[in-house]
């Protein structure tokens, strides 16, 4: 389906080409959002981004990136389309910094100017017309507002009905609840003349007596009149609000409880069907509800006291607070307004002056701008080193964010965490989090300890592979890792460490001195050092002294085993020329135990005695092939689980470009013929005749087909494939007629 908007697939990088060439880490720090895909600015359509986080938040994120990454570049060069479309009040020839600076002295003001410029481009690209203040919809709304304000009391019913239709066609989305923060412009009281649909709301009371007196016994009191826990709060806010809604009709109560003051507002269509009215009519009724509440807050003694209560709650919360805090501030807040079925705390949270409800947060002022600027400052403060909690609290207080909610707020705006009394950036990637763990610990850690601190379900082999390839980490011992920024000597492996010791000694060194120097600094035994010195790669110069072998003649040559892979038991070549090794699965394999493999196959995949292990990747993680006394595979349990292997299965292993592949051959069914069983042990699963079995087996062990049976059996015996030889011999013997 084709979108009606001509730029429906436009991404942010299409509007800001500089994004394609900027440092990805710098971009991520300013543009990443947990609600959006990684690197969303490259391919995610802007219309989809706006749908997820909103146009305002998007514009402020872009403003941040512009101001911090390209302050001295002309705005028209960073956003080329600006020169084509233009925007009132913004000169493309001015630099980003100039546009931001002319908006005012504050960072937020500068961001706002850049955000408005970018927002105007979004409006034009996505066919939202000219900027909102000049749009046709805005002019219509203004006209409707003027008519409503000056409409005389004795206007005919049909005129009022026409006005109601115009109000129902306002630009606001059909299912967007009426905004509840106060103060807001007062709605026009519903007076369409349709008496059957009139909402009966109480008129503001002219005077109220002392609510603590006994004369109020008939008023609906809910809960005990306990002293308010916070100065400035009403003693009985619930009773005051219950008195307000006591005379509301059913429609007003349902709309208020199920739409205006709830997290999951009911759709206009559903409410219209319930009350047999149009959606526009429901919207009018909702405005009437809010109009009644606003008049009550300003003109009624009870309401003015409640407004003071709201102001005290807002002052207690500061710039940022949570709805749960509102519920806890007063015993009445946790109690429901029975007629509406909504806790009073939910109503208070939506009526707080100047507050905006964002999820579970109540934010004073521009929520998107506050999130953006605090995220940037927190990243700068604890991006490399965890921030002491008292310093983090001081930073939060500069923006009016209290220490009680700072941890949750920081986690919500940018994946920050508080651990051991410090605030750290708990990044999106596993590497970011591992770096945060090390920075918090302050000293090198083992892979197992880092993995335990992450506790996110990531396989340790996967974590190890990512840390090995990340320049931020430094291996400082055989199983100890720190941050490269800390400095220190890098552990390179025993052979490389030996070569470095010899180089530092001038090209020749004593064996005992090398062994003592390396074993004293690293978790390596002196015996292991001497074993490596005796292997290929090092040459003796005199008794007890060694040097690195000459590259021309003595340097490590490929290890040549006694039997090559074609002469090695349980090794078979496939149709593509790759050699596979067969192993029969036991309970030890499935428990994760390592297991030996033949030397011929190990040498074929690149292993050699007394050299560094061959690191192998596979579909479920990684393992290694180590050759000390004999070549040995590490655990392949995750790979066996991945392919569904069980005890008794034959599993064929192959290594190609450092990747370990495995194919599972289930245990054979009963009654298999000897020839088919023999061919099956080489990986051939189809039924064969004895002659065909001989041909298959010959090709699988790298021998020319067409050999006589005795010669093939002799070759299998030489390789050590006694199981195949016995089955093939039975098959060939049975195929020869008896005389």
Q: What are phi and psi of 190, to 5 degrees?
A: -70, 120
Report helix angle 279-299 to 301-317, nearest 10: 90
Q: Which of 19-23, 203-207, 420-424, 436-440 shows the lowest per-residue confidence on average (mean pLDDT)?
A: 203-207
pLDDT at 569: 93
pLDDT at 338: 93
Nearest to 164 by CA among 180, 186, 187, 182: 187
The pLDDT of residue 179 is above 70: no
The pLDDT of residue 183 is above 50: no
Cis amide linkage into residue 183, ω under 30° from 0:
yes
For residue 104, give both structure tokens: 């005012």
Name the average pLDDT for the chain. 79
**Sequence spans of domains, the chain:** 12-134, 173-182+236-365, 494-548, 575-665, 674-735
pLDDT tens digits along 650-667: 999 999 888 999 999 988
Cβ(728)–Cβ(681) below 8 Å: no
CB burial string 604-613: b at 16+ within 10 A, e below? bbebbbbbbe
Rounded Cα–Cα distance for residues 291 and 190 (Å) = 10
Beta-carbon contacts of 319 under 8 Å, excluding residues fewer than 6 positions away, are: 363, 364, 365, 370, 399, 400, 401
Rounded Cα–Cα distance for residues 281 and 133 (Å) = 27
Beta-carbon contacts of 504 under 8 Å, excluding residues fewer than 6 positions away, are: none
Cβ(406)–Cβ(400) below 8 Å: no
The pLDDT of residue 290 is above 60: yes
For residue 307, give both structure tokens: 């407004």
CB-CB neighbours of 118 under 10 Å: 26
Query: Which is more confidently placed, 479 or 323?
Result: 323
Beta-carbon contacts of 35 under 8 Å, excluding residues fewer than 6 positions away, are: 52, 53
| 486: DSSP letter | G
pLDDT at 4: 42
Confidence band of 525 (pLDDT split at 50, 70, 90)? confident
pLDDT at 128: 59
Q: How far is CA 279 from the centre of its chain?
A: 39
Cβ(357)–Cβ(261) below 8 Å: no
Nearest to 258 by CA among 242, 244, 274: 274
What's the mean pLDDT in 689-704? 90
Rounded Cα–Cα distance for residues 662 and 653 (Å) = 5
DSSP, residue by residue, 235-280: S-HHHHHHHHHTT--HHHHHHIIIIITSSSPPPHHHHHHHHT--HH
This prediction's pTM: 0.42
Cβ(145)–Cβ(238) below 8 Å: no
pLDDT at 136: 52
Confidence band of 551 (pLDDT split at 50, 70, 90)? low
Q: Which of 105-109, 374-378, 405-409 shows the lowest per-residue confidence on average (mean pLDDT)?
A: 105-109
What's the mean pLDDT in 510-532? 87
575-665 maps to which CATH number? Answer: 2.40.330.10
The pLDDT of residue 171 is above 60: no
pLDDT tens digits along 443-471: 898 888 888 888 777 778 777 777 877 78
pLDDT at 336: 93
Q: What are phi and psi of 155, to 5 degrees?
A: -60, 145
What's the mean pLDDT in 132-154? 59
pLDDT at 263: 84
Cβ(349)–Cβ(326) below 8 Å: yes
| % of the chain with per-residue pLDDT over 70 | 80
DSSP, residue by residue, 542-577: ETTEEEEPPTTTTSPPPP--SS-GGGSTTEEE-TTS
Confidence band of 736 (pLDDT split at 50, 70, 90)? very low
pLDDT at 225: 42
What's the mean pLDDT in 149-174? 59
The DSSP H or E segment spanning 498 is: helix 494-504
pLDDT at 548: 86
Rounded Cα–Cα distance for residues 610 and 148 (Å) = 91
Cβ(525)–Cβ(628) below 8 Å: no
Rounded Cα–Cα distance for residues 77 and 50 (Å) = 24
Cβ(494)–Cβ(518) below 8 Å: yes
Query: Which is more confidently placed, 543 or 336?
Result: 336
pLDDT at 150: 64
Spatial strand order of the sheet with 538-542 comes to 509-510, 545-548, 538-542
Q: How far is CA 293 from the centre of its chain?
A: 42
Three-state secondary-structure class, residue 674: helix
Query: Which is more confidently placed, 571 or 5?
Result: 571
The pLDDT of residue 646 is above 90: yes
Q: Which range among 26-35, 105-114, 472-481, 542-551 has the greatest average pLDDT?
A: 472-481
The pLDDT of residue 555 is above 70: no
pLDDT at 737: 39
CB-CB neighbours of 685 under 10 Å: 12
Confidence band of 344 (pLDDT split at 50, 70, 90)? very high
Q: Is 303 exposed, middle or buried (0-12, 13-18, 19+ CB in 10 A)?
A: buried
Confidence band of 64 (pLDDT split at 50, 70, 90)? confident
DSSP H helical segments within 636-719, as ranges? 637-643, 674-680, 690-700, 709-719
pLDDT at 159: 64
Cβ(288)–Cβ(201) below 8 Å: yes
Bridge partners for 663 per DSSP: 652
Pairing type for strands 336-337 and 579-584 reads unpaired
Rounded Cα–Cα distance for residues 710 and 698 (Å) = 12
What's the mean pLDDT in 196-224? 34
Cβ(42)–Cβ(48) below 8 Å: no
Cα end-to-end span (Å), the chain: 80
pLDDT at 160: 63
pLDDT at 201: 33
pLDDT at 168: 58
Rounded Cα–Cα distance for residues 383 and 154 (Å) = 66
Rounded Cα–Cα distance for residues 451 and 461 (Å) = 10
pLDDT at 36: 77
Say how many residues make up the chain. Answer: 739
pLDDT at 584: 93
- Residue 500 gets the label, from left (phi > 0), alpha (psi -120 to 50) or beta, of alpha
What's the per-residue H, E or C state across 55-85? HHHHHHHHHHHHHHHCCCCEHHHHCCHHHHH
Rounded Cα–Cα distance for residues 210 and 423 (Å) = 50
pLDDT at 195: 33
What's the mean pLDDT in 489-508? 87
| % of the chain with per-residue pLDDT over 90 | 25
The pLDDT of residue 180 is above 80: no
Q: Which range among 296-310, 448-462, 553-567 has the greatest average pLDDT?
A: 296-310
Q: Which of 77-91, 169-183, 599-613 shows the lowest per-residue confidence on average (mean pLDDT)?
A: 169-183
pLDDT tens digits along 625-637: 998 778 899 999 9
pLDDT at 490: 86
């Amino acid at each position: 389906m084709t979108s009606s908007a001509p730029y429906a697939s436009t991404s942010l990088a299409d509007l800001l080409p500089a994004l394609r060439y900027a440092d990805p880490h710098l971009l991520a720090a300013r543009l990443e959002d947990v609600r959006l895909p990684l690197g969303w600015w490259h391919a995610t359509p802007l219309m989809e981004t706006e749908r997820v986080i909103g146009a305002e938040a998007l514009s402020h994120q872009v403003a941040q990136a512009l101001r911090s990454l390209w302050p001295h570049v002309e705005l028209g060069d960073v956003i080329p389309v600006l020169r084509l479309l233009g925007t009132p009040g913004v000169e493309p020839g001015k630099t980003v910094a100039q546009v931001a600076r002319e908006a005012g002295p504050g960072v937020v003001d500068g961001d706002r100017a850049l955000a408005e410029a970018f927002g105007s481009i979004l409006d034009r690209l996505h066919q939202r017309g000219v900027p909102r203040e000049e749009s046709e919809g805005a002019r219509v709304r203004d006209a409707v507002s003027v008519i409503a304000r000056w409409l005389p009391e004795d206007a005919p019913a049909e005129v009022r009905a026409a006005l109601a239709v115009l109000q129902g066609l306002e630009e606001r989305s059909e299912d967007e609840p009426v905004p509840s923060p106060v103060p807001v412009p007062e709605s026009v009281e519903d007076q369409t003349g349709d008496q059957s649909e009139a909402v009966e709301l109480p008129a503001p009371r002219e005077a109220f007596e002392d609510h603590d007196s006994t004369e109020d016994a008939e008023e609906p009191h809910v809960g005990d009149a306990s002293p308010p826990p916070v100065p400035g709060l009403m003693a009985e806010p619930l009773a005051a609000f219950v008195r307000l809604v006591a005379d509301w009709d059913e429609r007003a109560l349902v709309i208020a409880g199920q739409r205006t003051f709830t997290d999951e507002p009911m759709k206009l269509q559903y409410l219209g069907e319930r009350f047999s009215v149009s959606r526009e009519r429901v919207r009018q009724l909702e405005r009437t509800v809010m109009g009644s509440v606003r008049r009550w807050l300003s003109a009624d003694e009870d309401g003015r006291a409640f407004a003071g209560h709201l102001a005290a709650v807002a002052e207690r919360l500061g710039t940022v607070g949570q709805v749960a805090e509102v519920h806890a501030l007063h015993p009445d807040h946790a109690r429901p307004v029975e007629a509406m079925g909504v806790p009073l705390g939910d109503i208070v949270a939506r009526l707080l002056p100047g507050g905006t409800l964002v999820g579970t947060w109540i934010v004073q002022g521009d929520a998107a701008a506050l999130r953006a600027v605090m995220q940037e400052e927190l990243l700068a403060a604890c991006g490399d080193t965890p921030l002491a909690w008292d310093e983090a609290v001081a930073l939060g207080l500069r923006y009016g964010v209290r220490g009680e909610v700072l941890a949750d707020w920081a986690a919500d705006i940018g994946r920050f965490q508080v651990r051991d009394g410090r605030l750290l950036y708990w990044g999106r990637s596993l590497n970011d989090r591992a770096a945060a763990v090390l920075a918090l610990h302050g000293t090198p850690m083992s892979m197992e300890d880092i993995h335990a601190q992450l506790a996110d379900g990531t396989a340790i082999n996967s974590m190890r592979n990512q840390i090995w390839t990340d320049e931020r980490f430094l291996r400082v011992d055989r199983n100890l890792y720190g941050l490269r920024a800390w400095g220190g000597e890098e552990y390179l492996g025993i052979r490389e460490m030996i070569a470095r010791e010899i180089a530092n000694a001038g090209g020749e060194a004593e064996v005992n001195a090398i062994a003592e120097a390396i074993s004293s600094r690293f978790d390596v035994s002196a015996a292991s050092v001497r074993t490596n010195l005796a292997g290929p790669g090092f040459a003796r110069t005199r008794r007890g002294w060694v040097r690195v072998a000459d590259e021309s003649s003595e340097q490590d040559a490929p290890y040549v085993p006694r039997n090559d892979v074609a002469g090695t038991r349980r090794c078979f070549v496939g149709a593509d020329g790759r050699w596979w090794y067969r192993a029969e699965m036991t309970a030890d394999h499935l428990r994760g135990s390592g297991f030996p493999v033949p030397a011929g196959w190990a040498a074929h995949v690149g292993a050699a005695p007394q050299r560094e292990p061959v690191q192998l990747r596979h579909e479920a993680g990684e393992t290694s092939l180590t050759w000390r006394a004999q070549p040995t595979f590490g655990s392949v349990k995750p790979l066996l689980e991945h392919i569904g292997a069980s005890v008794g299965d034959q599993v064929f292993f192959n290594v190609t470009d450092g990747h370990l592949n495995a194919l599972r051959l289930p245990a054979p069914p009963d009654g298999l013929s000897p020839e088919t069983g023999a061919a099956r042990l080489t990986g051939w699963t189809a039924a064969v005749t004895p002659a065909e079995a001989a041909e298959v087996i010959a090709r699988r062990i790298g021998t020319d087909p067409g050999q006589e049976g005795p010669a093939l059996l002799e070759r299998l015996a030489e390789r050590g494939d006694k199981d195949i030889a016995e089955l093939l011999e039975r098959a060939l013997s049975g195929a020869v007629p008896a005389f």
